[in-house]
Structure 1
Amino acid sequence: MTTITIDPNYGYVILAATSTFIMNFVHIANTGEFRKAAKVNYPAAYAPESRTDDAAHRFNCAQRSHANFVENQASMLGALMVAGVRFPLTAAAMGLAWSASRYLYMTGYNKGGEGGKGRYRGISFWLFQLGLMGLAGYSGVAMVMDW
């Protein structure tokens, strides 16, 4: 039987997880502002394709940025919480860097532009997310192998 002892530094992991909850609210407010500017009424998730104005395009970019955030948040949080058991400070730093990258991704995407290429400004979130997934996987293997 394996005993898991939680390092006091795991509190930093919880704080990093909390940063993603805050980022979700930032996304909600951000998307709401662009929705209002584009005059897109609920329940429409996006401005219709027939709208080619800048406000509609930027709303669609903000909405897609938020959708991408939500698509990745759950798996990132799982990896963060698992990796943090064995590597609390590294995981916490990667989790906070993920949130910061997601902010850059959102603000870059908000600029609109052809194909929403501004999002590449925060694409580094993938490095942190994949790193956390790798640390989580390593932690599992280490536990099974009794390392």
Structure 2
Amino acid sequence: MSLILEVPKEYGYVLAVATSTIFVNTYHKIISSSARKASGLTYPIPYASQEQAAKDPKAYKFNLAQRAHANFGENLTPFLTGLLVAGLGYPTQATWAGSAWVVGRFAYAYAYTNWGPSGRLYGYVISQLGKMAITTMAVLTAWNMVKVA
């Protein structure tokens, strides 16, 4: 038995949220490249050594920016997968939860880079609440599609 997939008319909002992650990534690139330039660390060095970071606040800030960007990259693929699946079953709710994740990731990037690991809490919590909602909706959407088939 085949399944006919109908994309909800509100799915465009889901795609807009997915597209907005490009701007989060660009923000990370700007932060990282600015911190790299200020620190004097050249390519291909991915991080300042522990000794360099301990001696030079600019090298430490570069490490923070790099780590925040890496964390974003680690979380982007699961988020986008969940968002695109969840949006098929719950487009409006997925849009709001996805927007929370995006706002949280902007806050995470800014706070982590400027205040270190302790500064990331608010952005982390906001993004994780969005991610948990997205994950739940994605699982329910998949379940409902499997149940029908």
TM-score bracket relative to the smaller structure: over 0.9
Partner residue of 1:81? 84
After superposition, residues 1-147 of structure 1 pair within 5 angstroms as 1-51=2-52, 52=54, 53-113=56-116, 116-124=117-125, 125-146=127-148
- Does the 8 Å CA contact 1:83/1:133 hold for their aligned counterparts? yes
TM-score of the pair, normalised by structure 1: 0.94
TM-score of the pair, normalised by structure 2: 0.92
Shift of 1:133: 1.1
Count of matched residue positions in the alignment of Structure 1 and Structure 2: 145
For the aligned residue pairs, the C-alpha RMSD in angstroms reads 1.3
- Post-superposition, which runs of at least 4 consecutive aligned residues in structure 1 deviate over 4 A? none
SS at match of 1:80: helix
Deviations 1:37-60 (A, max 9, x none): 111111010011111221111110
Shift of 1:128: 1.0
Which protein has the bigger helix share? 2
Alignment-mate amino acid for residue 50 of structure 1: E
SS at match of 1:50: helix
Separation of aligned partners in 2, 1:140 and 1:8: 19
Separation of aligned partners in 2, 1:99 and 1:34: 22
- Does the 8 Å CA contact 1:86/1:139 hold for their aligned counterparts? yes
Separation of aligned partners in 1, 2:77 and 2:124: 17
**Ranges in structure 1 where 5+ consecutive residues have no aligned partner:** none
- Does the 8 Å CA contact 1:101/1:122 hold for their aligned counterparts? yes
**Ranges in structure 2 where 5+ consecutive residues have no aligned partner:** none
Shift of 1:146: 2.6
Give the share of equivalent positions with the same residue, in percent.
Answer: 35
Separation of aligned partners in 2, 1:118 and 1:63: 15
Separation of aligned partners in 1, 2:74 and 2:18: 15
